C-alpha cells in the first residue's frame, strides 16, 4: 500500500471567453477582401494535435470566411500522422470532431504535394496541392514549446507550414538533418513557403496552464517569425509543470498523440531521448511508468520509448505502422522503442520501485502520478513530495488522501481513505 495525496496546482490562468468575436476581428484585420477575387477559395489548416476548443475555433474561421464572401475548405495538415495516408488523416480529424458535417465545408485530404521552392541551402519546400492551388491559405495552430528542439519558433504556425502542409514528403526533408538543425530548417522552409504560396495569415492559438484557450492572435506575413517568437515566449511562461524537480517515480496513466506530439511531452518529463542531443538537467526523474495508451491516439504510441516500464495492455493497443511511420519521419527512433513490459499495473509499478535499488527506503519514495502530461492541474503525490512542497511554501490545494491499491486484472484502483 502506498499513501497518496491528491493536490491541485496553480498555474497562469489567462482565458479568452469570446472566441468567435476575437477570431472574426483577427481575420478581418489580416485578410483583405480587395486583394482576392469574388468567391475565392480559402484553405484552412486542420492539425492532428489535441487543441482545446479546436472545433469551435475552426467553425468560427469558416463562418467568418464565408461572411467575407469566400469559399472555405479544410486541409488536413499533419505531416506523416494518420499512417501518412489521406484516409488516415481524415480519420484523425473525425475523431477530433472535425468533419464536413460539423464544419459545413469540404475537407480535401490528399498526400500529394507540389515542390514550390528551395531554401538558400537547397532544402526543397513542399506544400499540399489542394492548399497551394487555393486562392488563399489561413494557417491555424497552437503555438507552444516543441518536444525535440529549442529555437526562435518551435511548435506552431511555422511548423504547420513546413511539416503539416508539407505532408510526409516535406516532413522527411525538414527532419533529415536531425534535431539540432530543426529550428533552422523550420524557419527557413516556412519563410520560403510563405513567400511562394497563397498564405494570407496565421491564426495562433495560445493556451494557459490549465489547457484552456488564453488567446487567439492573428499573425501577418510581414514579421511572421518575429511575432510567432513573441507568442512562443508567452506560451512558455504559462506552461504547466510537475510539482517538484526531483522525482523517484513518475506514473503516467495515459500517453498519446492527443496529449503531445510525442505521446508524453518531453518538456514536462525532462527526457529527450534523441541521439546527439544532451538530456535536460531538470526535471530529474529516476523511473517512469506508463499504464495505458489513449484511445484517441489510434494506436500511435510515439513516445513510449521515453518510459522505463509499461503494461501489456498498452503494448496490445500499439499500431506499429502508425507508430513506426511517425518515428521514422521524425528520425527519433528511440522514442518508439518498447520499455520493460509487465502484465499488470501493480507489477509494473512495484518493479519500478524495486529498480530504485536494494537500499532504497520505501517510506521516502517521491512518487507523482498524473493523468497525462497535458493536464497537470490535479495530480497525486506521495507523502515525501507533499512535505517538500509545504517546506517550499508552494501554492497548492490538498483535495484528498487515499491508499493506492491494485486490482490485478483490471488495473489500479483508488481506495479513498483519509489519513490522519
Both 320 and 260 in one domain: the answer is yes
**Torsional sign, CA 311, 316, 322, 328:** positive
Both 165 and 281 in one domain: the answer is no
Tell me: pLDDT of 341 over 70: yes
Domain boundary among 237, 262, 292: 237
pLDDT value, residue 329: 85
Local confidence band at 83 (pLDDT 50, 70, 90 cut-offs): confident
Both 193 and 131 in one domain: the answer is yes
Tell me: pLDDT of 290 over 60: yes
Local confidence band at 406 (pLDDT 50, 70, 90 cut-offs): low
To the nearest 5 percent, what fractions of the chain are helix, strand and coil?
35, 25, 40
* CA gap 301, 285 in Å, rounded: 21
pLDDT value, residue 413: 47
What is the average per-residue pLDDT within 405-416? 53
Tell me: pLDDT of 19 over 90: yes
Both 71 and 180 in one domain: the answer is yes
Tell me: pLDDT of 271 over 50: yes
DSSP 184-202: HHHHHHHHHHHHTS-EEEE
Both 180 and 258 in one domain: the answer is no
Position 21 in a domain: no
Tell me: pLDDT of 177 over 90: no
- Among 96-100, 117-121, 249-253, 413-417, which is the least confidently predicted range? 413-417
Position 16 in a domain: no
Tell me: pLDDT of 67 over 70: yes
What is the average per-residue pLDDT within 58-70? 97
Both 369 and 270 in one domain: the answer is yes
Higher pLDDT, 378 or 275: 378
Position 253 in a domain: yes
Position 396 in a domain: yes
**Do 292 and 313 contact (CB within 8 A), yes or no?**
yes
Both 70 and 157 in one domain: the answer is yes
- Among 39-48, 133-142, 167-176, which is the least confidently predicted range? 167-176
Tell me: pLDDT of 336 over 90: yes
Say what percent of the chain tops pLDDT 70. Answer: 96
pLDDT value, residue 276: 82
* CA-based nearest residue to 139, from 185, 85, 193: 193
CATH number where 66 lies = 3.40.50.11440
What is the average per-residue pLDDT within 360-371? 95
Position 26 in a domain: no
What is the average per-residue pLDDT within 325-345? 93
pLDDT value, residue 416: 42
Both 247 and 383 in one domain: the answer is yes
With cell 477575387, the residue in question is: 37
* CA gap 101, 35 in Å, rounded: 30
What is the average per-residue pLDDT within 158-168? 94
* CA gap 281, 272 in Å, rounded: 11
* C-alpha torsion 368→373→379→385, nearest 10: 30
**Do 294 and 334 contact (CB within 8 A), yes or no?**
no
Position 129 in a domain: yes
pLDDT value, residue 50: 75
What is the average per-residue pLDDT within 52-80? 96
Tell me: pLDDT of 48 over 80: no
What is the average per-residue pLDDT within 381-402? 94
Number of structural domains found in the chain: 2
pLDDT value, residue 408: 54
Domain boundary among 182, 212, 237: 237
pLDDT value, residue 419: 45
pLDDT value, residue 284: 97
Tell me: pLDDT of 395 over 80: yes
Both 309 and 233 in one domain: the answer is no
Tell me: pLDDT of 417 over 50: no
Both 106 and 186 in one domain: the answer is yes
Cβ neighbourhood burial of 355 (10 Å; 0-12, 13-18, 19+)? middle
Position 159 in a domain: yes
Q: What Rg do the C-alpha atoms of the chain give, in angstroms? A: 22
What is the average per-residue pLDDT within 18-27? 97
Position 25 in a domain: no
DSSP state of 114: E
pLDDT value, residue 330: 85
Tell me: pLDDT of 415 over 50: no
Local confidence band at 418 (pLDDT 50, 70, 90 cut-offs): very low
Domain holding 84, by residue range, is 31-237
pLDDT value, residue 6: 95
What is the average per-residue pLDDT within 233-239? 96
- Among 40-49, 99-108, 172-181, which is the least confidently predicted range? 172-181
Tell me: pLDDT of 411 over 80: no
Both 281 and 364 in one domain: the answer is yes
Both 251 and 205 in one domain: the answer is no
Local confidence band at 42 (pLDDT 50, 70, 90 cut-offs): very high
Domain boundary among 237, 255, 283: 237
In the chain, the N- to C-terminal Cα span, in Å, equals 16
Amino acid at each position: 500500500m502506498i499513501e497518496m495525496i491528491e493536490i491541485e496546482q496553480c498555474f497562469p490562468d489567462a482565458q479568452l471567453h469570446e472566441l468567435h468575436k476575437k477570431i472574426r476581428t483577427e481575420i478581418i484585420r489580416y485578410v483583405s477582401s480587395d486583394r482576392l477575387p469574388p468567391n475565392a477559395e480559402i484553405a484552412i489548416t486542420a492539425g492532428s494535435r489535441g487543441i482545446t476548443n479546436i472545433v469551435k475555433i475552426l467553425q468560427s474561421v469558416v463562418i467568418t470566411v464565408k461572411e467575407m464572401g469566400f469559399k472555405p475548405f479544410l486541409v488536413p495538415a499533419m505531416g506523416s500522422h494518420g499512417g501518412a495516408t489521406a484516409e488516415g488523416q481524415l480519420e484523425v480529424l473525425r475523431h477530433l470532431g472535425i468533419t464536413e458535417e460539423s464544419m459545413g465545408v469540404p475537407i480535401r485530404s490528399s498526400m500529394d504535394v507540389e515542390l514550390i521552392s528551395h531554401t538558400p541551402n537547397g532544402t526543397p519546400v513542399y506544400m499540399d496541392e489542394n492548399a497551394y492551388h487555393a486562392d488563399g491559405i489561413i494557417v491555424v495552430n497552437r503555438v507552444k514549446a516543441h518536444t525535440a528542439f529549442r529555437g526562435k519558433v518551435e511548435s506552431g504556425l511555422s511548423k504547420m507550414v513546413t511539416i503539416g502542409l508539407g505532408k510526409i514528403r516535406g516532413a522527411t526533408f525538414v527532419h533529415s538533418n536531425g534535431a539540432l538543425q530543426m529550428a533552422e530548417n523550420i524557419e527557413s522552409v516556412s519563410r520560403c513557403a510563405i513567400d511562394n504560396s497563397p498564405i494570407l495569415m496565421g491564426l495562433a492559438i495560445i493556451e494557459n496552464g490549465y489547457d484552456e484557450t488564453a488567446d487567439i492572435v492573428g499573425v501577418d506575413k510581414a514579421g511572421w517569425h518575429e511575432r510567432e517568437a513573441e507568442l512562443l515566449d508567452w506560451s512558455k511562461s504559462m506552461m504547466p509543470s510537475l510539482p517538484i524537480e526531483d522525482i523517484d517515480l513518475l506514473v503516467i496513466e495515459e500517453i498519446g498523440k492527443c496529449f503531445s506530439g510525442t505521446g508524453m511531452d518531453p518538456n514536462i518529463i525532462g527526457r529527450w531521448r534523441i541521439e546527439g542531443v544532451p538530456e535536460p538537467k531538470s526535471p530529474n526523474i529516476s523511473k517512469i511508468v506508463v499504464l495505458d495508451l489513449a484511445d484517441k491516439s489510434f494506436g500511435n504510441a510515439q513516445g513510449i520509448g521515453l518510459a522505463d516500464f509499461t503494461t501489456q495492455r498498452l503494448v496490445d493497443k500499439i499500431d506499429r505502422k502508425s507508430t513506426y511511420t511517425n518515428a521514422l519521419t521524425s528520425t527519433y527512433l528511440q522514442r518508439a522503442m518498447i520499455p520493460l513490459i509487465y502484465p499488470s499495473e501493480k507489477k509494473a509499478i512495484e518493479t519500478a520501485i524495486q529498480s530504485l535499488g536494494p537500499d532504497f527506503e520505501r517510506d521516502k519514495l517521491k512518487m507523482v502520478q498524473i493523468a497525462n502530461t497535458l493536464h497537470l492541474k490535479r495530480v497525486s503525490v506521495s507523502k515525501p513530495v507533499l512535505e517538500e512542497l509545504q517546506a517550499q511554501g508552494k501554492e497548492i490545494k490538498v483535495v484528498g488522501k487515499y491508499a493506492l491499491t491494485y486490482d490485478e486484472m483490471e488495473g489500479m484502483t483508488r481506495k479513498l481513505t483519509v489519513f490522519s
